[in-house]
A and B are shown apart, each in its own frame.
Chain A
Amino acid sequence: MSEFYEGMAEIFEVDASKISSEFELHSGEAAWDSLAIVSTIALADDCFGVMLEGKALGECKTIADIENLIAAAKKG
């Protein structure tokens, strides 16, 4: 399990085993609110050294969408 997935599990307060690329941010288990977005910005910075935009994060539907933002940010 990656540090990033563990961090996402903490943000959503779910068991780490539930987090995968397919995990839905707007599922009943998760709350993709401003606090979760702010926490994800800090997490991505910590794990990958990239700064994500709040607005783009707000439009994400799954963890895969966030991973795509991270990959794009890494390319810079």
Chain B
Amino acid sequence: MKKVSARLKDIAVYLPDTVLGNDELAKLYPEWPAEKILEKTGISERRIASEHQTAGDMAYEAARNLFAQGQVAAQDVDFIILCTQAPDYVLPTTACVLQDRLGISRQAGALDINLGCSGFVYGLSMAKGLIETGAARCILLLTADTYSKYIHPLDKSVRTLFGDASAATAVVASEDAEEAIGPFVFGTDGAGAKNLIVEAGMYRLPKSCDTSTEQTDDSGNVRSRENLYMNGAEVMAFSLKEVPKAADTLLLKAGKSKEDIDFFVLHQANKFMLEALRKKLKVPEEKLPITMDDCGNTVSSTIPMALFKLIHQGRLIRGQRLMLVGFGVGYSWAACLLNF
């Protein structure tokens, strides 16, 4: 078999129409004026999926945008990977539903992966594996989430940060011998599961009157066990501890140094976390983009969203080398190099 390598061919994104701005949030949280929210989070607005719009619907829109860009057509796709934590159904797999909706071949493979902020990098690793073993040639990697549906309106600790979005990335087989995606490093620490969680609603803790009871925490945030909960302090400590380590391990594995990297595209969690990580990684501001101003933390879509923006700003061009690092819910993290 002739050796093929996987490469990223094109990226498209989709943002839902409804805008949630800082002024609206500041009215609900009087102790956090709109300017303070912007300064700390780096976010001026988030987009919110409509009541009946699912992650599957948003993934569909991102895929349509990708096909409209003309680099990849629906009939080229022979494998769909959808990363989401808000699937359309308990079963069947949302990626299967999307095969039909998008008019993709019945010979295509399709699966969902349940990961959050590390999901895009995991998706790339799976796409690479499928392509370089000859199992597929054109992967449609979709990331889509609707965390807004899990968030209590009066929980400022998460509502100020998260936004809904989706991205569609085409990873294709290329006859170039040079590796374009990889190497990878992964990490998991399930002991941190409780620090970023929607506890109730599945089988460990089914929804009940008890789980829907709202409680107010010490910081005045309201939520029930059916809502998203984040222990910001623990998640910050985890990220500061693991992300620089993962970056160093990856550079060592690749035999590269920080100077060889044009952009460090980190999961866009929030501005203060990215600035703390930038200091710790000791990389200059222009090499670690913060691109979440108009969309917030969109979970598994933040990295493709950042890549899309860098391309459209003319900052990211073919031939540049990037480090991608996704980290968060799980805890789960993954990093890779990408020769764009």
Contacts and interface: CB of A to CB of B under 8 A. Distances in A.
A34 to B, nearest CB: 5
Given A34-B233, A39-B40, A54-B232, 9 more contacts: A34-B219, A37-B232, A42-B273, A45-B280, A46-B279, A46-B280, A54-B233, A54-B236, A58-B218
B234 A42 contact: no
B232 to A, nearest CB: 5
A2 to B, nearest CB: 16
Contact of A35 (B40, B218, B231, B234): B40
Q: How large is the interface on B (under 10, 10 to 19, 20 to 34, 35 or more residues)?
A: 10 to 19
Contacts of B237: 41, 51-54
A67 interface: no
A34 B157 contact: yes
Interface of B: 31, 40, 157, 218-219, 221, 231-234, 236-237, 240-241, 272-273, 276, 279-280
A41 B233 contact: yes
A52 B233 CA distance: 9
A55 B218 CA distance: 12
Interface in A28-76: 31, 33-35, 37-39, 41-42, 45-46, 51-55, 57-58
Interface size class of A (residues with CB under 8 A): 10 to 19
Given A33-B31, A35-B40, A51-B240, A42 B276 contact: yes
25 contacts: A31-B31, A33-B31, A34-B221, A35-B40, A37-B233, A38-B232, A38-B233, A39-B272, A41-B236, A41-B237, A42-B240, A42-B273, A45-B276, A45-B280, A46-B280, A51-B241, A53-B233, A53-B237, A54-B231, A54-B232, A54-B233, A54-B234, A54-B236, A54-B237, A58-B218
Nearest to B32: A35
Contacts of A54: 231-234, 236-237
Among B157, B233, B236, B240, which residue has the most Cβ atoms of chain A within 10 A?
B233
